[in-house]
Amino acid sequence: LPPGPAPSSWIVGNRNQVPREKPWRWFQDLNNQYGPVVYLQMGRTPTVVIGTAQAAWEILEKRSSVTASRPRFIMGQEIMSNNMRGLMSEHGPFWRRWRRVLHGSFMQKTADSYKPIQSLESKQLMAELASSPAKYREHLERYATSVAVVVTYGRRVHDIYNDEVVCLNRQTQDFLTSIIIPGKYLVESVPALLYLPNFLTPWRTVALKQRATDIEYLTRLVKEVKAKMEAGRAPHSFCRQLIEEREKNGMSELEIAYTCGTPFGAGVETTAGSLASFLLACATFGPTFIPKAQKELDAVVGPDRMPTFDDLADLPFIRAVVNETLRWRPVAVLGGTPHASTEDLVYEGMFIPKGSTIIANLWGIHLNPADFPDPHRFDPERFMTKRDYPGPWQHSSFGYGRRICPGMHLGYSSVSINVARILWGFNLSKARDESGQEIDVDTFAYSDRFNSVPLPFPISIVPRSAGHLAIIERENEAAQEELRAYDS
Ligand code: HEM
């Protein structure tokens, strides 16, 4: 077996040693102490923590045929989700169908067809940042939410606090992310607890209540799209496509309803959180990279128009800023949902038993000084030259193998276009207090959840000139005309 700390007892294994707070830091320490692959015994479940990109690539990419399953999620998948959420599904026919329809709608070519809507929403984001910069977090979330909801259901989101779809989805996500933390519920390592009667298992009752709420609103949203299709006014969307191809895909209505919940669940916090990390990097390391980024933008785009998706090919330093953002503070800090192995395998003489939970700890992988020297420093220059690193991205933000993020093209486009435009249109620096002193920000102040995103921090966001502001406002006005087609 791979090396690792001794279990504290043979019943719970190492389970009680996992810190309640930010376990990714402990995993990183373990990898530093024991090596790139560490073994833990979580209850009866063998668990492997990977701490380098090279080991993750070998195990999760090259051996993907046997490491692309998921562990059993008793609370999140079986009880709360009726086994209907593909993201937590084991490798098998249900997952394959779910993955195929997602791939059909989010692969590179199809994802490109969403760029016009991403561009329009981003123009609104720019105007919002110009008019109320202090609410930047809300604006980023509105952007990411509206893109996900337009792409899925063909309708926009204006107000993230009051939009019903958003509130219900957020409630679901909050609940789900709070219950799938490894080690949180004893039933995950001792499934026999499922045989206890309901009155002794209050955790089951709350999860079932959430399931009922989810089924009600997820199916209602599909019915709304169906009604619009019948009335001949449903724009193209993921949901519409699934309804049209229902028979071909052999999906039940409930399966369609749950599948439509995927882009919101997986694509909003990841996108908005990555953009928030970018702003945090600007507030901390801005003077080291913003002048070079703006020089590039001025040379390629100029001051008279906003950058477009087509410009990105000519903006290598902006692309480097995007990649460094995704590396520096990986939002899917534990590598997303853990993988599970479906056969025994051996990696560099270490035995990884069938049924192991495999965690590719992105916190450790992206902050490994062997690949990224001085890793907590935000330094886009690292991405200006190719390094010896496995995989096409030169970082590991989107995961591995058959489970690689199917929304990566959509997510990457969102982060890129907004990074380019924000740097083009605004000066970003530390905020100042009433006495004019710069306010320092803490680059480690991140949320302690399944996705780890920056906690609120102050930043100054000011248009670069009156000319830039005029363009931002003009572009937004024109965008609003086009966006009306998605208002329901
Ligand atoms: C910057 C934005 C994003 C980042 C950093 C990100 C990152 C990740 C990561 C690390 C994984 C885990 C992969 C693995 O298990 O090896 C993942 C999975 C996933 N992502 Fe993303 N993601 C982003 C945006 C999106 C978007 C916009 C969607 C919308 C469709 C999406 C949908 C998914 C789904 C469905 C999975 C689970 C795949 C499976 O279980 O087979 N993601 N993502």
CA distance 45 to 51: 19
pLDDT given at position 190: 83
Q: Is the dihedral of CA 250, 255, 261, 263 positive or negative?
A: negative
Of the listed ranges 182-196, 405-419, 458-472, the least confidently predicted one is 182-196
Strands 37-42 and 45-50 turn out to be antiparallel
* Digit-coded pLDDT (tens) for 58-96: 999 999 999 999 999 999 999 999 999 999 999 999 999
Look at the block and give the residue holding tokens 């790139």.
36
Average pLDDT over residues 168-192: 85
Q: Is the dihedral of CA 475, 478, 481, 483 positive or negative?
A: negative
* Rg, Å, the chain Cα set: 23
Which residue CA neighbors atom 37 of ligand 1 most closely?
A: 87
CA distance 424 to 309: 13
CA distance 188 to 203: 12
Residue 338 CB–ligand 1 contact under 6 Å: no
Residue type, 153: Y
pLDDT given at position 407: 96
pLDDT given at position 141: 97
Asked if residue 11 has pLDDT above 90, the reply is: no
* Among 484, 333, 487, CA closest to 399: 333
HSE-CB at 382 with a 13 A cutoff on CA atoms is 27
Task: Tokens for 35, please give them.
Answer: 């090596």
Distance between Cα 412 and ligand 1 center (Å): 11
pLDDT band at 15 (very low <50, low <70, confident <90, very high): confident
- Ligand 1 atom at minimal distance to the Cα of residue 338: 15
Q: How many CB atoms lie within 10 A of CB 426?
A: 25
Asked if residue 40 has pLDDT above 70, the reply is: yes
Which residue CA neighbors atom 14 of ligand 1 most closely?
A: 399
Residue 270 CB–ligand 1 contact under 6 Å: yes
From 114, 140, 260, 270, the mutation candidate for ligand 1 (largest count of ligand atoms within 8 A of CB) is 270
Residue 282 is assigned to a ligand binding site: no
Of the listed ranges 23-32, 198-207, 352-361, the least confidently predicted one is 198-207
Residue 145 CB–ligand 1 contact under 6 Å: no
Asked if residue 184 has pLDDT above 90, the reply is: no
Distance between Cα 267 and ligand 1 center (Å): 7
Residue 105 CB–ligand 1 contact under 6 Å: no
Look at the block and give the residue holding tokens 């199917």.
406
pLDDT given at position 488: 66
Residue-averaged pLDDT of the chain: 95
Please name the residue ranges forming H helices in 379-465. 408-425
Q: Is the dihedral of CA 50, 374, 443, 266 positive or negative?
A: negative
pLDDT given at position 359: 97
pTM: 0.96
- Cβ neighbours of residue 290 closer than 8 Å, sequence gap 6 or more: 282, 423, 427, 428
pLDDT given at position 309: 98
pLDDT given at position 450: 85
Residue 43 CB–ligand 1 contact under 6 Å: no
* Digit-coded pLDDT (tens) for 139-168: 999 999 999 999 999 999 999 999 998 999
For residue 48, which phi and psi values (nearest 5 degrees)?
-120, 130
pLDDT band at 108 (very low <50, low <70, confident <90, very high): confident
Which residue CA neighbors atom 18 of ligand 1 most closely?
A: 405
- Percent of the chain whose pLDDT exceeds 90: 90
Stated as kind and residue range, the H or E segment containing 357 is strand 357-360
- Ligand 1 atom at minimal distance to the Cα of residue 400: 16
Of the listed ranges 50-64, 342-356, 474-488, the least confidently predicted one is 474-488
From 398, 419, 451, the mutation candidate for ligand 1 (largest count of ligand atoms within 8 A of CB) is 398
Distance between Cα 393 and ligand 1 center (Å): 14
- Ligand 1 atom at minimal distance to the Cα of residue 99: 41
Asked if residue 182 has pLDDT above 70, the reply is: no
* Digit-coded pLDDT (tens) for 198-238: 889 999 999 999 999 999 999 999 999 999 999 999 999 99
Surface-to-core class of residue 455, CB atoms within 10 Å of its CB (0-12 exposed, 13-18 middle, 19+ buried): middle
Residue 463 CA, distance from chain mean position: 29
pLDDT given at position 322: 98
Asked if residue 367 has pLDDT above 70, the reply is: yes
Strands 350-352 and 345-347 turn out to be antiparallel
Distance between Cα 264 and ligand 1 center (Å): 11
pLDDT given at position 25: 97
Residue 210 CB–ligand 1 contact under 6 Å: no
Residue 404 CB–ligand 1 contact under 6 Å: yes
CA angle 68, 340, 59 (to 5 degrees): 65
Residue 411 CB–ligand 1 contact under 6 Å: yes
* Among 214, 227, 209, 229, CA closest to 260: 214
* Digit-coded pLDDT (tens) for 244-283: 999 999 999 999 999 999 999 999 999 999 999 999 999 9
CA dihedral 188, 194, 198, 200 (to 10 degrees): -70
User: What ipTM, to 2 d.p.?
Assistant: 0.99
Q: Is 194 helix (H, G, I), strand (E, B) or coil?
A: helix
Question: Please, are residues 222 and 261 in contact by the beta-carbon 8 Å criterion?
Answer: no
Which residue CA neighbors atom 27 of ligand 1 most closely?
A: 267
CA distance 439 to 229: 52
Asked if residue 120 has pLDDT above 80, the reply is: yes
Integer angstrom CA distances of residue 418 from 109, 117, 305, 355: 20, 13, 14, 41
Average pLDDT over residues 449-462: 95
Average pLDDT over residues 175-189: 81
